[in-house]
Structures are given as C-alpha cells and as structure tokens.
Amino acid sequence: MLPAADSQLVQIVDAATADAVRRSGHWLLCKPGCTQCCIGVFAISQLDVVRLRQGLAELERTDPARAQAVQQRAHEAVSRLTPNFPGDAKTGILDPDNEAFEDFANDEPCPVLDPQTGLCDLYSARPMTCRVFGPPIRTEEGIGICELCFVGARKEEIEAGELHLNCEELEASLNGEAEQATHHTGNTIVAFALISQTVPQAKHSAE
C-alpha cells in the first residue's frame, strides 16, 4: 500500500507543475501524444515503484487487457535490458556508482507507453520524474529544459517558467516508508518495477 501522505505529495507536485506550465506559456509544447520524454530509461524511487504497482492493480480491475499489455511490454523490456543492466538485474536495483547508466538504454521506450495511442497507460500513477518533466527545472548544472520546448527563448523567459518544488523532506520520508514496504533500498527503472507486480485478478483468472 502507498504511504497515506503520498496523495498529499502528488497534489503538491502536480499543483507546482501546473503553475510552472502556466508561467511557461506558449514556450511549453508538451501535449498528449508527444512521447519525447517516454523514450529512454530513468531512475525511479521505491515510492514510485509502489505507486506504479498500485496503478497497475487498479488498471487490472478496470481494463485487464491494457494491464496485460503493460506487463507484456515490461517483461520484454527486462529481457532486452538485463544483459547490460547497470546494477543487480535480479532485484532491478541500480548501482549508484555505475556511470554506465548515463548511456544505458537511451532508445528504450517506457513499457507504460501505449505505442498505438502515444499515451501513458498508468498516467495517474506515473513517477515523480514524469510529473515534473516539461517546465524548466534547476539542477546543480543549471536550468534543464526539454529539447523540444523553449526553442529561441531568452534566458529570462526560461527562468520565468521555472518549476519550484518544496517537498523534498516529505518525499524522502515517504520513500523511506516505501523502501520498508518493498524491502528494497535504492532506485530502479519502470520495467523492473512492473514485472515484480502480481495482479491478484489476473492470477485468479489464470487458475
């Protein structure tokens, strides 16, 4: 089960992102069907893992066929990624000291992405990285932006749309709870998170 306060965290992040989208105006080109941010693997926390698994279980209840397709794509992705996985392929936990992750599977589509519609099948349960992608985000290297957005914008226009989050402590606390629930410490990727999910209804129907 998700930590009780995860809904509060999601609300904070989604509200901050919506505000940044508003301030970004026409420079932000994100829209349904744009899959630029869905190609290439990225690290997710154990809190993201629990949220994704809960979302998949809910999808199994409402649309078993779509849920099965998601899991099939996840299994296929894990088969492709396992030989060169920069971490423990048995648990799916990434090695934080393995620099190979930077160049790992950059062309791999997210298994949650429906290749027919270009939409996310677990959108409401998507990881935090997905929720904040689009608006400018400040990192230690400066402000990062999607390569499709803010083309030709001035520095001031980019900074005007900067995403402001103030929930790091809450997220860290909830992730600690999630790590206890999953019995794993460290980051993984979406495909590995989903193949370890057993959907009760799907198992029951198979019997």
The answer to whether residue 205 sits within a structural domain is no
The reported pLDDT for the residue numbered 196 is 65
The answer to whether residue 97 sits within a structural domain is yes
The answer to whether residue 207 sits within a structural domain is no
3-state helix, strand, coil in the chain (%, to 5): 55, 10, 40
- Burial group, residue 191, by CB count within 10 angstroms (0-12, 13-18, 19+): buried
Model pLDDT for residues 161-170, shown as the tens digit of each residue: 999 999 999 9
| pLDDT at residue 202 tops 90 | no
The answer to whether residue 193 sits within a structural domain is yes
Q: Which domain holds residue 147?
A: 6-197
The answer to whether residue 166 sits within a structural domain is yes
The answer to whether residue 156 sits within a structural domain is yes
Model pLDDT for residues 119-157, shown as the tens digit of each residue: 999 999 999 999 999 999 998 888 999 999 999 999 999
Residue 54 CB: number of other CB atoms within 10 A?
Answer: 17
Q: Which two tokens stand for residue 74?
A: 């996840």
The answer to whether residue 163 sits within a structural domain is yes
The answer to whether residue 16 sits within a structural domain is yes
**What's the structural domain count of the chain?**
1
The reported pLDDT for the residue numbered 205 is 35
